[in-house]
Structure 1
Amino acid sequence: MEETNALIEQRKAKLAALRARGIDPFANKFTPSETIGEARARYAEGRPVALAGRITAHRDMGKSMFVDIKDTTGRLQVYAQKNVLGDEGFEIFKHLDLGDFIGVQGTLFTTRTGEMTVKLESFTILAKALRPPPAKWHGLADTEIRYRQRYLDLMASDEVREVFLKRSAIVREIREFLHSRGFVEVETPMMQSIPGGAAAQPFVTYHNALGCNFYLRIALELYLKRLLVGGMDRVFELGRNFRNEGISRRHNPEFTMLEAYQAYGDYETMMELTQSMICHVAQKVLGTLRIEHRDAEGKVIRTIDLTPPWRRVKYKDLICEKAGPDWFQITPAQRRERAQALGAEIGPDYEDFEVTGAVFEKLIEPTLIQPTFVTHLLKELVPLAKLSPEDRDCVEVFELCINGQEIAPAYTEQNDPLEQRERLEHQAGGEQQKLDEDFLVALEHGMPPAGGMGMGIDRLCMMLLGQESIRDVILFPQLKPKTD
């Protein structure tokens, strides 16, 4: 800490010295002619350029200096000479620090070692970094610093920055794909008087002017279905959901969801949409359908093959494979006993369908590495879906599992208002205040048959980008505030 404070004081002294010379870095302006990446791509010996970036390396050769500057698109070497800049200009240049931002003007050339370089003619200081950059430019080892001060993580690691640039590209391609299919992007309320569309613990806030509680949404579903009622036949929303629950490598309290609804479709329609969209995104952003996940040493630990068609298997069949072919014939008490013997964590208040759900979530889902559509879930698990005509204990639903976790659920949407009310009442346990009456009234006006799909964007990015923790695909994950 003392060493850091001393470095900060040295940099502040350099800033004061610059200002004493009439140079205020923070007041200067500079307009680059292009990005560094574009300069490299359009290289021509002697071509003049004006570039800007952060200094990431410098080498003092006495009467000349080399520095590296970097922007989002890449890195480029700059060659500064005393006889070009003059005594004062060269002296100022020599006192620039790692982390400072500069604008440079000069011409492109290639050094004897083959390094593409700018021969500096003039420079402008654009920002003085008062704190030194991370000690390790090739990645921060301290995960606490990485997540709490993500800007340092991005400065230190090209690989980390590339993950987030690719995440942006993934979201862009999802939008492009849905637009090409005729979907309309919409926005629905993040603050809701009744949190619905999922079974989750909401965050509560208070609206002073209206004098009542509101809840940060836990799902997008019920408002998007209102739009189907209103005649918008294909809609989607990409937005944040909030759940006041645990934090793990697969869960963050604030996360990004895609939900899409298509009138006159069903769960089969959404299966095709989901498979086609993920393959489109992978091909566009990554250029491949084979996704390699590597360990810290770079060794491939698994390869996910997205080549269609993807496996389809019924929920009950997977349960019976794992827990015994007689699972659905034995008593609830026997199911509970067997689930515990298999190693599933069973809460004391679990209902029978939740015991079966725990077997799937804890013992089966983590083994589904290759893309798998798990279909026909138990009706109690998805109260907003239509019953399956071939098995009235199940609903027309799929959960897409890849890389051992659920990526996207989808279903044939329930549009019978009477059946929907009955099932939501059962879910609410008879508590009327938990029912979204406005949604039920909307259904009574008539909603077309439809398919709906939700996709966890963070988990999709984890899978596509080979990341093992959700925190590595969220720029600013939730952390407990520092107390010191």
Structure 2
Amino acid sequence: MAEQKNVPQQEDLSEILKVRREKLAVLQAAGQDPFVHTKYECTTNTTTVKENFDAMEGQAVKIAGRLMSKRGMGKVSFCDLQDRYGRLQIYARRDDMDEEAYNRFKKYDIGDIVGVEGTVFRTQRGEMSIHATEITLLSKSLQPLPEKFHGLQDRELRYRQRYVDLIVNPEVRRNFEIRSKFIKHMRNYLDNMDYMEVETPVLGTVSAGAAARPFITHHNTLDLDMFMRIATELPLKRLIVGGMERVYEIGRIFRNEGMDTKHNPEFTSVELYQAYADFHDMMDIAEGIIASAAKELLGSYQVEWLGETVDLTPGWERLSMVDAVKKYTGVDFDAISDDAEAIAAVKAIGVELADSAEPTWGNALYATFDQRVEEKLIQPTFITMYPVEVSPLTKRSPQDPRLTERFELFICHSELANAYSELNDPIDQLSRFEKQAEQRARGDEEAEMLDEDFIHALEYGMPPTGGMGIGIDRCVMLLTGSDSIREVILFPTMRPVD
């Protein structure tokens, strides 16, 4: 097995672990257990000192963080302290501290967490620093950090040990700061449109609202198998029936599917529903949220993602699926009238239908888009008017009942949003659920289950409604230029080491 570059050799590591534990034991025996501290009152942080140095020079401060380096010269020591904001040099001189305390400090290890009391000053070399008068060990690091020059570079190890990744690769924090700001921006955008944020169950007795295979768990008290939600759609539309009119939920979704650079079994989405609106209104909202987030968080509509320069300037292309297929493959589904002709046309260009899909005009159209067109969509594009076969919760088009008022948003051949003019006809909805049940019987584990209570809710009357789901993880990938969903999820799903 090749030796890992990110950690010391095994025999060296064993000795380091032994020495650090021995240091801890000595401290504890002397009544100086670092783990007894419950609080440390900081008066500033690294960034505040750097940004306000002229005003703060000579001022007494208290600051805390992790020791990231140490340089000793007998009676004088330098170290770099890192907090959530950045790094700052600490200058310690034996003559300015209690001698015993200074000698203890010299034995502290890189990785230890300390509190520093002292004054803001500039060294002879011009380095902004804290001139320490007291240094308190707040927590002992028993594991060595990855060595200085290579850091933690192995991707899989970074994801498994995100805590170490964040310590030694502070640039990683930027992704999660942008993620937090994006979610806050989205909340503000919807709140300003008079939407109400709600919460709906994660566990249910029916798996519906999306084409996905669910995770199954068991409720012991009820002795009942339950499903972790694959979408928040149906509970939110029940609230529209109840008269709440504008609702959204930001939450975790769980789908028992494959993992790759775009998919994690648990991910975060926002779903929103607005009464008396349609899918055109949802397009405006999707474009508004993402474009304004880029401008506000990054200062530009231009972003680099997956090797492409993407222009998020409002005014994104809107293209029907039929027109998109014609544009990129030459097959004109408007000129095809029956199922057999459609199947023959797509087979001629090498498109194959899934085994569980009925050989219909709509399934042929969708398969052609999925296999030949999606990969070509780089700039923001709304693909509209999906076949009814793949849109069981969507209102049919008044102009062509084979199609539905649905769109998906694609950027760099990645789907970021999915929206409908919601189906509110309970009779039609029941019929489509029954077709989904037939697909499940043919072996399609992603087909939706019949939700009888949702049909019952629709029978009370749901107003015309626009609804949409936006994948938050993929939006953050776009805004941070990340090529893998694992770069924007703090703790992605990983196969156990053993």
Same fold (TM over 0.5): yes
1:26-425 matches, cutoff 5 A: 26-28=35-37, 29-43=39-53, 44-136=56-148, 139-293=151-305, 301-327=307-333, 329=336, 339=346, 342=349, 344=351, 346-352=353-359, 353-425=362-434
In 1, the alpha carbon distance for the partners of 2:100 and 2:347 equals 77
In 2, the alpha carbon distance for the partners of 1:339 and 1:158 equals 50
> Which residue in 1 is equivalent to 2:492?
477
In 1, the alpha carbon distance for the partners of 2:344 and 2:400 equals 26
Shift of 1:344: 5.0
Identity between Structure 1 and Structure 2 (%) = 45
| 1:463 maps to which of 469, 478, 483 | 478
Query: How many correspondences in the alignment?
Result: 477
Deviation string, structure 1 residues 299-332 (Cα, Å, up to 9, x no partner): xx32111101111111111112233234562875
Contact 2:215 2:254 survives alignment (8 Å): yes
Shift of 1:59: 0.9
Q: Tell me which amino acid in the other structure corresponds to 1:31.
A: E
| 2:455 maps to which of 430, 440, 443 | 440
Shift of 1:366: 2.2
> Which residue in 1 is equivalent to 2:34?
25
Q: Tell me which amino acid in the other structure corresponds to 1:319.
A: V
Alpha-carbon spacing, 1:65–1:343, altered in 2? closer, same or farther (3 Å): farther
> Which residue in 2 is equivalent to 1:297?
none
> Which residue in 1 is equivalent to 2:4?
none
Alpha-carbon spacing, 1:110–1:312, altered in 2? closer, same or farther (3 Å): same
Q: Tell me which amino acid in the other structure corresponds to 2:231.
A: A
Q: Tell me which amino acid in the other structure corresponds to 2:117.
A: Q
Q: Tell me which amino acid in the other structure corresponds to 2:78.
A: F
| TM-score, length basis structure 1 | 0.94
Shift of 1:209: 1.1
Deviation string, structure 1 residues 263-312 (Cα, Å, up to 9, x no partner): 11100111111111112222222222111237xxxxxx321111011111
Contact 2:322 2:332 survives alignment (8 Å): no
Shift of 1:163: 0.8
Shift of 1:333: 6.1
| TM-score, length basis structure 2 | 0.91
SS in 2 for 1:377: strand
Shift of 1:120: 0.5
Shift of 1:412: 0.7
Shift of 1:139: 4.7
Q: Tell me which amino acid in the other structure corresponds to 1:427.
A: Q
Deviation string, structure 1 residues 188-238 (Cα, Å, up to 9, x no partner): 010010011112111111111112111001111000000001110110000
SS in 2 for 1:55: strand
Segments of 5+ residues of structure 2 without an aligned counterpart are 1-9, 442-447
Alpha-carbon spacing, 1:192–1:382, altered in 2? closer, same or farther (3 Å): same
Q: Tell me which amino acid in the other structure corresponds to 2:450.
A: L
SS in 1 for 2:209: coil
Alignment RMSD (CA, Å): 2.0
Between 1:332-341 and 1:197-206, the stretch displaced more is 332-341
Contact 2:304 2:310 survives alignment (8 Å): yes
SS in 1 for 2:402: strand
Q: Tell me which amino acid in the other structure corresponds to 2:272.
A: A
Between 1:391-400 and 1:139-148, the stretch displaced more is 139-148
Contact 1:39 1:49 survives alignment (8 Å): no
Between 1:132-141 and 1:388-397, the stretch displaced more is 132-141
Contact 1:137 1:157 survives alignment (8 Å): no
